[in-house]
Amino acid sequence: MASIAFLIAVIVATVVAPTLATDYMVGDSDGWKLGVNYADWAKGKDFYVGDTLTFMYKEGVHNVQKVNGPDFKQCKSTNSSNKALTSGHDVINLATPGKKWYICGIGEHCSNGMQLSITVQEPASAPAPTPKPWFTTPPPPSSSAIDISPLKSLVLMVAFIAAYKMIMA
Ligand SMILES: *[C@@H]1O[C@H](CO)[C@@H](O)[C@H](O)[C@H]1NC(C)=O
Ligand SMILES: [Cu+2]
């Protein structure tokens, strides 16, 4: 039962997630610290406008600086008007598409791995959304386009039922 629920959760994530804002916990349970490969963490993730990045770390030990490409390469911020985030729980809204670069500005932390570069994509809700392949069927000549929304609702409903059964088991 649990594996079916997991499978359904994965399907839900692939189908529904691109249209909803996602909060990414940078480094997942590791948070923002030394000894984590953030390029590996970012690999395979799709960041969209409207998503957020949350940097979790011990206040005072690290910080978060948004930098440009050249500064990222040399691991320091040359932009004095660009203040570091220092709360230990910094949430960054990904408001525009394109490449984004973040480093820790403390000591040599950046060159020791505390650097993250991501590419933010345009929102998934483009005028002509492409349905995911798994439910794409070749439309019969006379049929109209497949409406995704009811299908998504159905998938969500099934996922909730599966999750409920898993909890009750
Ligand atoms: C410097 O930082 C400010 C504030 O974040 C930003 O508006 C500006 O574009 C930055 N300049 C460069 C050259 O990155
Ligand atoms: Cu640091």
Ligand 1 cavity residues, CB under 6 Å: 68, 79, 81-82
Q: Which of 82, 83, 85, 96 to mutate to test the pocket of ligand 1 (most atoms within 8 A of CB)?
A: 82
What residue type is 150 in one-letter code? P
**Cα–Cα nearest to 84, from 98, 64, 59:** 64
pLDDT in tens, 1-19: 566 565 455 445 555 555 6
Query: Cα dist. 21→15, 51, 106, 119, 163 in Å?
Result: 13, 5, 30, 15, 21
Round the average pLDDT of the chain to a whole number and report it. 80
Fold of domain 22-121: Immunoglobulin-like (2.60.40)
Distance 99 CA to ligand 1 centre (A): 14
Express each pLDDT in 83-114 by its tens digit: 999 999 999 999 999 999 999 999 999 999 99
Confidence (pLDDT) at 12: 52
- Boundaries of every domain in the chain: 22-121
Bigger pLDDT: 47 vs 82: 47
Ligand nearest to the CA of 27: 2
Q: Rounded to the nearest whole angstrom, what is the distance from the C-alpha of residue 109 to the centroid of ligand 2?
A: 5
